[in-house]
A and B are shown apart, each in its own frame.
Chain A
Amino acid sequence: MVERYVMSIDQGTNSTRCILFDHRGRLVSVAQHEHEQHFPRPGWVEHDAAEIWHNLQRVVPEALSVAGVDADRIAAVGIANQRETTVLWDRRTGAPVTRAIVWQDTRTAPLVDELRRRPGEEFFLERCSLGPSTYFSALKLRWMLDNVKGLKQRAQDGEVLFGTMESWLIWNLTGGPDGGLHLTDPTNASRTMLMNIRTLTWDDELLALFGVPRPVLPEIRPSAEPYGEARAVLPGVRITAALGDQQAALFGQTCFSPGEAKCTYGTGSFLLLNTGTELVRSRHGLLTTVAYKIGDQEPVYALEGSIAVTGSLVQWFRDRLGLISSAPEIETLARTVEDNGGCYIVPAFSGLFAPRWRSDARGVIVGLTSYITKGHLARAVLEATGWQTREVVDAMNADSSVALKQLKVDGGMTADNLLMQFVADVLDVPVVRPMVIETVSLGAAYAAGLAAGYWSDLEVLRRNWHRAGQWLPAMDPERRASEYENWQRAVERSLGWARAPRSGEAD
């Protein structure tokens, strides 16, 4: 019998990749293209959605060609995507109305302040379980409607469509202006601040508050369900899953039971804890989010600790400071010294996310002395990821009845042994890495394969999970405590740095 594969498309913050997986969840081929990051002003981050669609049209045939197969060997395709990043496009021409506003973008900070004052945080928490933040799509969409000339009217008239990246790509894959399907799933919709977290439908009060006309919105469909066949790129192949990347990673790590958690280390890092069909509200700065909804089954929820800047700090170290020529070299540089030399970096580039949620924070480097070398800075870069993880785990332990006993990790940064050891050291629990670190892609493939009948049930998927590496805590408890204290003192110094401008636009 000819072997069939499941295709996964991961539309991430930095790149778009296509990966084929076999029945045992093993990676068969990969193709990837990076897209440009636009930083038109401080705090602004934009992507060109047309470039991303173009990249998708390149990576799919490349992944097929590396595997040496045609599209007819693909049982189904699933999509995982960077969340919250907001695209608005013309229904007739298929052209993006403006550049996509990326999740890290902080231009909507003044709107956040306004919404916190009126109607106040509780109004939002009750409906979508998210407090106002520059992070979520509704604010970005609102900014577009307010700032692109004539857009409000075109939106009212149904001439433009809104979506996060999965909506944009699925619409294009299924025909674009010529009958493309305009849909999203609850994991992505739960990051917009427009969806009611209990009913998983667009919430009229939220729509009214943000001034979002209904005709721009995609239909909310289950995360795993046959949506339709592709007409472009992969003609005839069924598209059967869409998940936000972090929920996809939770799925790929097979965290299907309440209490199971994972942390994905990428541009940012995201710790998700499965809370089952129960909607748990955090009292310690975590987000309540939809983990997945398979077909007509009950939705499964998760608590999420989102860290905005981890891998992107390493990229900044590489691209903006030029102290290393490739991201993995951060480990080489960090190993040239024994410790951080008393130096700490708090990478609050776009404020601080979980558990602090301070949009007024900005990055600081503290503890500088003439002793500090670039090696110490490299250490401080890696340690920032470790300590930010610790803060989120502390919040999760405070919210949950059982403390985390081990941390399942994935993502590109898990190739960094120094970092993984540091995470184990500061959390004081074992850190384990699965045999596939591309869990975002794997999760989208799993959901797609499940909906297409390629895999029969969750148990089959669970059996595919194997431990590929493990780091055990080895740090002296006293040192852990004093270093954590230093980190927290460093964070104090980052808070309140960004001030609202006296007049005119926010920075």
Chain B
Amino acid sequence: MAGPVQSIERAAAILRLLAAGPRRLGLGEVAASLGLAKGTAYGILRTLQHVDFVERDTATGKYQLGAALLHLGTSYLDVNELRSRSINWADALAARSGEAVRLGTPLEGRVLVIHHVFRPDDTLQTLDVGALLPLHASSLGKVLLAYGTAALEPATGPELEAYTRHTLATVEQLDRALAEVRDLGWAAEIQEMSMGEAGVAAPIRGHGGLVVGAIGLSGPVERICDSQGHPRPSLITLLREAARAVSRELGAGRW
């Protein structure tokens, strides 16, 4: 196993230094305090600034902790911005797959539907933006759980609420399924929330690869799955392309 990464240790030291004092510090002060070369300190400060952990006062050029650090526990990407940035790709996914598309982010132990594109058959459908889905019984929720974007309520016991006879009804079953999601890079939900319905979902990544949400498509089980009951590979391909396109849009690297 590799040892500690020096630049991360130094970054942590800079954050501690900025957090310790009540006032902003200049580049020279930061470098001198930590015994770093100015160029090294500058590179680290620039990177921390890029991820919003550090802010630089434009007038004085001095540094302080960034607002993002104060909100580390909450989502750093506004859900309305996520919808806005993904709308073209969600539309294209619905158009190509012929199925309804939804985007989800975590909210208080559930999945909040933040965007919904109708199935492109011009039938009567209702927007369900704002709806809440169970984490363990929806493909969107499984993605959020698998990549650590959401967690089950701390009070959850070993048993999970069963919506149908296919719902993963124990934490143990769910954990196995989540490991598989991480291996495959996508999640499925086959008649686990309601009978006759199926869905697949994939992670949306932001800066640094952090999963900020999930995008999925859903429909009748016979359309989402093949005759063996497995999600159709063609749909998975379209889904993952769309998820990658949104991630690129959000500034994730190569995913």
Q: Do A and B assemble together?
A: yes
Given the known interface contacts A26-B92, A466-B95, the answer about A415 and B121 at a Cβ–Cβ threshold of 8 Å is no
**What residue of chain A has the Cβ atom nearest to residue B122's Cβ?**
A467
Q: Does B107 contact A (CB under 8 A)?
A: no
Smallest Cβ-Cβ distance to B249: which chain A residue: A30
In the bound complex, how far is the Cα of B17 from the Cα of A443, in angstroms? 56
- The interface residues of chain B lying within 8 Å CB-to-CB of A283 are none
Given A332-B79, A435-B117, check contact A470 B127 (CB 8 Å): yes
- What are the residues of chain B within 8 A of A415 when measuring CB–CB? 80, 83-84, 87
Contact between B81 and A435, CB atoms less than 8 A apart: no
B91 within 8 Å of A by Cβ?
yes
Least CB distance, A409 to chain B, in whole angstroms: 13
23 pairs, A vs B, C-beta closer than 8 Å:
A26-B92, A27-B88, A28-B92, A326-B78, A328-B81, A329-B81, A332-B78, A412-B84, A415-B87, A416-B84, A417-B127, A417-B129, A437-B91, A466-B120, A467-B120, A467-B122, A468-B118, A468-B120, A469-B116, A469-B118, A469-B127, A470-B126, A471-B127
Closest residue of chain B to A329 (Cβ to Cβ) is B78
0/1 per residue, A404-417, Cβ < 8 Å to B? 00000000101111
Contact yes or no, B87 A26, CB < 8 A? no
Q: Give the interface size bracket for B toward A.
A: 20 to 34
Those of B93-142 within 8 Å (CB) of chain A: 94-96, 116-118, 120-122, 125-127, 129
Nearest-Cβ distance from residue A338 to partner chain B, whole angstroms: 15
Instruction: Kindly list the 6 A-B residue pairs having the minimum CB-CB distance in the complex, ordered from nearest.
Output: A466-B120, A328-B84, A328-B80, A328-B81, A415-B84, A331-B80
B residues apposed to A, CB below 8 Å:
78-81, 83-85, 87-88, 91-92, 94-96, 116-118, 120-122, 125-127, 129
Query: Is A436 located at the chain interface by the 8 A CB criterion?
Result: yes
CB distance from A331 to the nearest CB of B (A): 4
Could you tell me if B118 and A438 are in contact, using CB atoms closer than 8 angstroms? no
Give the CA-CA distance A28 to B95 in the complex, in Å: 11
Known: A26-B95, A435-B94, A468-B94. A328 touches B118 (CB 8 A): no
A414 CA to B80 CA in the complex, in Å? 11
Cβ-based interface call for A489 (8 A): no
Q: How far is the CA of A332 from the CA of B81 in the complex (A)?
A: 9
B96–A30 CB distance below 8 A: no
* CB-defined contacts of B126 to chain A, threshold 8 Å: 470
Residues from chain B with a CB closer than 8 A to the CB of A416 are: 80, 84
Q: How many residues of A contact B (CB 8 A)?
A: 28
With A469-B117, A469-B118: A328-B78 Cβ-Cβ less than 8 Å:
yes
Given A466-B121, A468-B117, A468-B118, also A24-B83 (CB < 8 A): no
Q: Which of A25, A27, A416, A437 has the most CB of B within 10 A?
A: A27
Complex: how many Å from CA A330 to CA B78?
10
- Give the shortest distance, in Å, between B193 (CB) and chain A (any CB): 22
* Cα–Cα distance between A24 and B116 once the two chains are bound (Å): 21
Q: Does A327 count as interface, using CB distance less than 8 angstroms? A: yes
Q: Give per-residue flags for A143-180: 1 if the beta carbon is below 8 A from chain B beta carbons, else 0.
A: 00000000000000000000000000000000000000
Q: Known contacts being A415-B87, A466-B122, is A27 close to B92, with CB within 8 Å? A: yes
Closest approach, in angstroms, between the C-beta of B247 and any C-beta of chain A? Answer: 13
In the bound complex, residues from chain B placing their C-beta under 8 Å from that of A331 are 80
Shortest CB distance B235–A (Å):
15
Q: Return chain B residues, CB-CB under 8 Å to A25.
A: 95
Interface pair B78/A27, CB less than 8 Å apart: no
Query: Which residue on A lies nearest to B98, using beta carbons?
Result: A466
Per the bound structure, the CA–CA distance linking A467 and B116 in Å amounts to 12
List, in ascending order, chain B residues with CB within 8 A of A414's CB. Answer: 87
The reply to whether B127 and A437 form a contact with Cβ atoms under 8 Å apart is: no
Contact in complex: B91, A27 (CB < 8 Å) = yes
Type the 1/0 row for A315-332, where 1 means its CB is closer than 8 Å to any CB of B: 000000000001111111
